[in-house]
A and B are shown apart, each in its own frame.
Chain A
């Protein structure tokens, strides 16, 4: 009993811990990417190409056939599209972004980078840029002065920049000087080392693109519905709309693989728990054959005997689920204190766990199903024993 109980506790506990950690990292990753690049992006205009062909003998009659889809880079009429997008119920915000490749120089050195022209009042609703500012001055200066820029932590370190120092941005031979208004850190290394945010109007003039936008960044009230919304918007707007699930599918599939592999490990544990349960109960059945004979001689039915043994399993399960749940929660909490600095996909100083009631439900359901299946066999075997065979000692 103790063996199967401890296995059940371990199974349930570890199930919770592994699920909490893998989903913790995944959730954090998703949160980071939603907070930086939004739930979806509208990027390119879709143009249907039509091929006409004349039907032989009848010059007036033509068959038009869709041949394929052509994408025209960028959003030509951002304001119209943005107004339409805002009419979708799930949309929380939309922001036009103009992007261009540049070279950034400080007095120290020069690096390649990308300028992101944004309108702060729009962009606030589609990213958590505001909360990623690490310098105490905040966004105040960026808001006031068109000649200021937000620089990522990594780039700032490489250029040895601090707030209020100036940088020179060079595009196709033309250079302009900007003041560093603040330094941000998203934790995503690729972003922090390349992106420089400047005002959209300033970017238009710098990149010489008086109209249009490279993409529209959209945030949703319910990001889980991004795929459906994207498909819908694509129909309506005739622009390609990429939801975050598609944009980040490589990383998401890595997380999926991770959680599957940990689920397998954990299932093995519950399997061991159920084997232990099977073993324990089979042994108890052997020990208790005489009691089974006595009970049966008193008029107890086969199903009463089954019930008695399943009841034992149920007690083990109940204790195992409760203790395992507490154990899992405690270990998850302990794991969340383990230092683990990450600064590539997202930024964290220690292990991330996301305990959700769903993990407890899953862990306990798995344990219940497996232990009960394992218990059913010996319990039914006990019920099938003939009392006569038992008392003669010839019961199998």
Chain B
């Protein structure tokens, strides 16, 4: 891969990029109210790749939304790069999302009316650290890295599910976040592409000192991660 991917400030490996402790989350109303997360504690170091595994419905996505500051816990603490986020306001959480977190959703990936390139550039536009040509160059480079260099100008609607997922991965990397949260990023991919995406994520973690946390049902992938955390019924086991 060409230099820009590696040119990031190499943060000291071993620091905690993300910590959470005693996370509680209830979902649903009234009788349907479910205790989904029952006190989850977790920490992720820079430069490490973590796999969260577990049966469907055990609360993996719910945990990832909390860690990605997309949802608020009913109890417990979340720390992003040493900063406590669990009781900060929407503005601070939004800013932290933009600067520190790259998120890949489990199901919906792209803004379909936009091209792959525009999708990848969108987080950079908001952050505003790069000039327009720099953003475009970086977006092209990232799309190249996920094997979509030839389809940068396709609209979201003109891409397959797996291709959309890879664009979403590229987009999560756009702002060089210190934490990458990916909910089954290889779920829709064939062996070749899931290896491609996984290799990319691992290499980034190593080279840039990013913490990668991914949810996966694929044992092979889980096995290749630095740490695997099995989850059951809202708790790590």
Contacts and interface: CB of A to CB of B under 8 A. Distances in A.
A297 B69 CA distance: 8
Interface in B106-129: 107-108, 110-111, 122-123, 126-127
Given A387-B71, A391-B65, A301 B108 contact: no
Given A302-B90, A388-B65, A392-B27, A297 B105 contact: yes
A-B pairs, top 3 by smallest CB distance, nearest first, are A299-B98, A388-B71, A298-B123
Nearest to B113: A291
Nearest to B27: A392
B97 A297 contact: yes
A131 interface: no
9 contacts: A294-B110, A295-B111, A298-B123, A299-B97, A386-B70, A386-B71, A387-B70, A387-B71, A388-B65
B99 interface: yes
B159 to A, nearest CB: 15
Nearest to B114: A291
Contacts of B98: 298-300
Given A300-B94, A301-B91, A392-B27, A295 B70 contact: no
Given A291-B111, A298-B171, A386-B70, 4 more contacts: A295-B111, A300-B94, A391-B61, A394-B27
Interface in A346-396: 386-389, 391-392, 394
A391 to B, nearest CB: 6
B123 A391 contact: no
B47 interface: no
Contact of A299 (B27, B99, B111): B99
Contacts of A389: 71
A290 interface: yes
Interface residues of B, number: 28
Nearest to A304: B126
Interface in A225-265: none
A297 B110 CA distance: 12
Nearest to A301: B94
Interface of B: 27, 61, 65-66, 68, 70-72, 90-91, 94-95, 97-99, 101, 103, 105, 107-108, 110-111, 122-123, 126-127, 171, 175
Nearest to B175: A299
Contacts of B103: 297-298
Interface in A283-298: 290-291, 293-298
A302 B94 CA distance: 9
In the complex, which range does the number of interface residues on chain A fall in? Answer: 20 to 34
Contact of A298 (B27, B66, B90, B126): B126
Contacts of B94: 296, 299-302
B70 A388 contact: yes
A297 B70 contact: yes
B111 A300 contact: no
Contacts of A391: 61, 65, 70, 105, 107-108
A293 B71 CA distance: 11
B105 A388 contact: no
A300 B126 contact: yes
Contacts of A293: 70, 105, 108
B71 A299 contact: no
A82 B147 CA distance: 95
A387 to B, nearest CB: 4
